[in-house]
């Protein structure tokens, strides 16, 4: 069984030159069985896996521990958003799983993020990433919920607040990577979903980029799901993206 106190890996960063340290494959699948079958099909192409709400709500913490016991790092994408005490308790619960990264919504506010950061000071706790503006949202979508700022303006506003609150990094669209890298502390982890290799469909993503461009702009970790997991040969699809990443390092 994984010892949570020793679970947190060195964070992915622009200094990590092994492409496998810069790619997290999103296991957006309905069950532990389908997720582990996909892991096997990937044949060692990846060191990081993202476990999101769909999978976590069915498979639970045991899947995270299974992935850790098999030698993988886990990015737990739960997007926590609640009152400060509840979020802090969730962070403490996640610490027992051995996950290396955990997300929460920056829109939950400063007090919520500070409470989470305090809970994450415990040994073995995950590094915390603030979700700024979802990559599925564009200016029109923000306007519909009363935010008149552009996606980039809203994202950097929330990112600055998250950094002041003690969080380790941000989830941002590829279009904000260069801005975040210029504006935030140099050690900030920048995790970019919305990555689409050449020829891939955008799906429900709006603010996207190719893997090489995102790495050159300063992304620490790229999150790729459907272009790999829905490919006829997931291992080959992952290998092609790793090649794109390597060309940009």
Q: Catalytic residue numbers?
A: 79
d(CA 212, CA 199): 14
Long-range contacts of 179-182 (CB under 8 A, 24+ apart): 179/152, 179/155, 180/155, 180/156, 180/218, 181/217, 181/218
Q: 227, 200 in Cβ contact below 8 A? A: yes
Say if residues 173 and 192 touch (Cβ distance below 8 Å). Answer: yes
| Paired residues of 75 in beta bridges | 50, 101
- 176 exposure class (CB count in 10 Å sphere: 0-12, 13-18, 19+): buried
Q: Pairing relation of β-strands 221-224 and 101-105?
A: unpaired
210 φ, ψ to 5°?
-80, 155
> Is the separation of the CB atoms in 83 and 19 below 8 Å?
no
Contact 117, 167 (CB under 8 A): yes
The residues facing 23 across adjacent strands are 222
């Amino acid at each position: 069984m994984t010892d949570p106190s020793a679970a947190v890996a060195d964070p992915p960063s622009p200094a990590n030159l092994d492409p496998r340290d810069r790619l997290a494959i999103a296991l957006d699948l309905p069950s532990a069985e389908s997720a582990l079958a996909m892991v096997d099909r990937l044949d060692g192409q990846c060191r990081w896996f993202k476990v999101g709400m769909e999978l976590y709500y069915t498979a639970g913490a045991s899947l995270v521990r299974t992935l850790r016991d098999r030698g993988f790092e886990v990015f737990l994408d739960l997007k926590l958003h609640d009152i400060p005490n509840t979020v802090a308790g969730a962070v403490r619960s996640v610490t027992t799983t051995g996950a290396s990264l955990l997300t929460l919504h920056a829109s939950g506010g400063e007090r919520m993020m500070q409470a989470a950061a305090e809970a994450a000071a415990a040994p073995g706790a995950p590094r915390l990433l603030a979700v700024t503006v979802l990559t599925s949202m564009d200016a029109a979508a923000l306007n519909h919920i009363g935010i008149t700022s552009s996606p980039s303006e809203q994202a950097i506003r929330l990112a600055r607040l998250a950094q002041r609150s003690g969080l380790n990094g941000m989830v941002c669209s590829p279009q904000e990577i260069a801005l975040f890298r210029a504006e935030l502390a140099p050690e900030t982890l920048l995790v970019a979903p919305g990555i689409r290799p050449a020829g891939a469909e955008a799906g429900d993503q709006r603010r996207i980029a190719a893997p090489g461009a995102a790495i050159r702009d300063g992304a620490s970790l790229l999150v790729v799901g459907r272009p790999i997991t829905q490919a006829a040969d997931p291992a080959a699809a992952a290998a092609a993206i790793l090649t794109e990443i390597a060309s940009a390092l």
